Structure 1
Amino acid sequence: MSGRYKRYTGFEDGEGPEPDDKQRLRFQVELEFVQCLANPNYLNFLAQRGYFKDQSFINYLKYLLYWKEPDYARYLKYPMCLYFLDLLQYEHFRREVVSSQCTKFIDDQQILLWQHYTRRRTRLLQKQAEESTPGGQSNSHPPGTANGTGNGFNCNSQTNGQGQPVQKVP
């Protein structure tokens, strides 16, 4: 990892291999930083402070592309960060993310993606559960959900979680 670091950042790492605790610390710091890239507001923060104009920082972002390799990507909790890491390789994106309006749009789109992904996944799991139950009726919810909504509650639901309509109290 140290040769790659020097090649992209231009900074010397020290001579010889890194001690284990230094490697572990670098891994943790880089993991945390890469995952922060999943937050459009953090990208806006970096852009407004001029980090994306600094060539050594851009080289560092290039260096961080190794997180896309399966051996490293498996440690990521927020895989959306890899998408933003890819976008940050383009100067046009780095210029646009300075705008708060652009950042707000990206943030809204990200939230919508998560909401719809959760709904689609819940429907798919419910369908699979119904197909695996004799008679096509399922008395339980998909694994990992409290009432089949994917997040433990659904304020807009007109059903009781079993697919039966809920009567509204006047």
Structure 2
Amino acid sequence: MDQPQPPIDQSQQPPPPTLSNPRFTLELEFVSSLANPYYLSHLAVTYPYLLGISNAGDEGDAAKDTADPDAQAFAAYLAYLYSYWKTPEYAQFLTHPGATLRALRLLQEDTFRRDIIRPQVIEELAGTGINNGAGGVATEQDGEQDKEDQGKPEDAGNNNTSKT
């Protein structure tokens, strides 16, 4: 009876945090790439349907996001990744934990996933850093939350936040 459950449960569990685990290293490479705003732009331009971006116009975006199973699956995958990469056990493997976790946190929001295709958003993330809340990208609070979740304030981009 126990054997049918582990394969189902195992697919929903994070991989063990060892560099010899292929799934772990693949997910580490992917989440590390998310720290680069230009990679986020590449995802938005190359795979807009995954982020819920519609070509029909801004009004249809929200309906498109909820109706597109690929966008829902990708959003669920991003939520899954964020749920365990923010823990110290996994965050210790990130080379840029502050930027990576902030990007994962921002990608949880439907509006951010749709807005990331705009060059202004990418330039704000690249030029002023993800921790600057300018241009409708409310991230100052997110940066503080990520550092608290991660427990590594010295690796984050904003050094004046305090842990609680």
TM-score normalized by structure 1? 0.52
- 1:102 aligns to 2:104 (yes or no): no
Tell which deviates more after alignment, 86-95 or 50-59: 50-59
Equivalent residues in 2 for 1:15-94, closer than 5 Å: 24-48=21-45, 49-50=47-48, 51-53=50-52, 54-65=71-82, 66-79=84-97, 80-94=99-113
Q: What is the one-letter code of the residue matched to 2:74? A: F
Alpha-carbon distance in 1 for matches of 2:127, 2:11: 34
* Larger gyration radius, structure 1 or structure 2: 1
Question: How many residues are paired up?
Answer: 102
Alpha-carbon distance in 1 for matches of 2:28, 2:117: 24
Distance 1:56-1:112 versus aligned 2 partners, 3 A rule: closer
Greater length-normalized contact order (CA 8 Å, ≥ 6 residues apart)? 2
- Note the C-alpha offset of 1:46: 1.0
Alpha-carbon distance in 1 for matches of 2:106, 2:114: 11
CA RMSD of aligned residues (A): 3.1
Distance 1:112-1:73 versus aligned 2 partners, 3 A rule: closer
Q: What is the one-letter code of the residue matched to 2:123? A: K
- Note the C-alpha offset of 1:6: 3.8
- Note the C-alpha offset of 1:90: 0.4
Alpha-carbon distance in 2 for matches of 1:4, 1:69: 19
Unaligned residue ranges in structure 1 (runs of 5+): 8-17, 114-170
Unaligned residue ranges in structure 2 (runs of 5+): 1-5, 53-70, 133-164
Q: What is the one-letter code of the residue matched to 1:88? A: L
Distance 1:42-1:26 versus aligned 2 partners, 3 A rule: same
TM-score normalized by structure 2? 0.54
Distance 1:112-1:71 versus aligned 2 partners, 3 A rule: closer
